[in-house]
């Protein structure tokens, strides 16, 4: 249900290549298979007086997103793309920040974005790097000691990729994007990601039943519901129960109620 957004996202990053602000890092096959850095997940509180810089401060803008697909060809496994300055090149105390993770699996993808979000949050934390996340936003603090330790997005991305592939069994491939360039970049990416966020929020409104189906709790008939267009996209991935009916969806056809 996110393939259209992933394609638009990748097109945006390809267009940014012309600006000369793009950096690429690629993990080798051995690095991808390695155990994650054990320093990850050990959260230390970074006080304001110990902070070198803040990424994604509410005053400058941020974006946090996890997207999934069954199409492994859309994912450049182990690849890290950075738009804007690396940690060592940054000037100023507060910079806009976007972190976008795109993963693939062969099973249903509807729960995977939420699993990825939680794993990214816990795996990022170190004594040098503290992250706060909320739906759609990320706020990170980097300690002054990180300036001398060589902390970088390459290092952070490597740890996150290894950690998520290790923690989430259904996750087969993972690609990461970081943006620290301009506030306008965050705005453009937020618009691209918006349809995926709408679909994810809609998924949260469905009640999951014991048999793994999703129960639509609205009193409205599907034809009268303002969110029908969102459900039309989601229905390709999950089966939704409406009252005492199970709504089955077939490709290139209208929804068919059944028992």
Q: What is the pLDDT of residues 171-227, one digit of tens each?
A: 999 999 999 989 999 999 999 999 999 888 877 666 666 665 666 666 556 665 655
Give the pLDDT confidence score for residue 257 in this predicted structure.
39
Select the CATH number that applies to the domain covering 3-197 from these four: 3.40.30.10, 3.30.750.24, 3.30.1650.10, 2.60.40.10. 3.30.1650.10
0.75 cut: is pTM over it?
A: yes
Torsion over CA: 190, 192, 198, 204 (sign): negative
CA distances from residue 202 to 166, 216, 235 in whole angstroms, order as listed: 29, 10, 11
* CATH 3.30.1650.10, the chain: domain bounds: 3-197
**Per-residue pLDDT reduced to its tens digit, 100-152:** 999 998 876 678 898 999 999 999 998 899 999 888 999 999 998 887 788 89
């Amino acid at each position: 249900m996110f393939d259209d957004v992933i394609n638009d996202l990748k097109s945006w990053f390809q267009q940014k290549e012309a600006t000369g602000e793009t950096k690429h890092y690629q993990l080798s096959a051995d690095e991808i298979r390695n155990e994650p850095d054990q320093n990850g997940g050990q959260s230390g509180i970074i006080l304001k007086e110990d902070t070198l810089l803040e990424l994604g401060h509410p005053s400058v803008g941020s974006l946090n997103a996890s997207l999934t697909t069954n199409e492994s060809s859309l994912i450049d496994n182990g690849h890290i793309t950075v738009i804007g300055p690396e940690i060592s090149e940054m000037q100023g105390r507060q910079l806009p920040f976007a972190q976008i993770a795109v993963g693939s699996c062969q099973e249903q993808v509807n729960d995977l974005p939420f699993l990825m979000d939680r794993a990214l949050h816990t795996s990022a934390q170190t004594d040098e790097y503290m992250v706060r996340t909320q739906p759609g936003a990320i706020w990170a603090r980097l300690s002054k000691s990180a300036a001398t330790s060589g902390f970088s997005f390459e290092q952070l991305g490597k740890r996150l990729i290894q950690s998520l592939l290790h923690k989430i069994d259904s996750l087969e491939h993972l690609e990461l994007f970081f943006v620290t360039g301009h506030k306008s970049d965050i705005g453009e990416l937020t618009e691209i990601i918006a349809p995926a966020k709408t679909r994810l929020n809609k998924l949260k409104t469905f009640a999951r039943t014991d048999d793994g189906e999703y129960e639509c709790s609205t009193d409205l008939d599907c034809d009268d519901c303002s969110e029908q267009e969102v459900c039309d996209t989601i229905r390709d991935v999950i089966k939704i129960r409406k009252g005492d009916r199970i709504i089955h969806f077939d490709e290139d056809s209208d929804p068919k109620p059944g028992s």
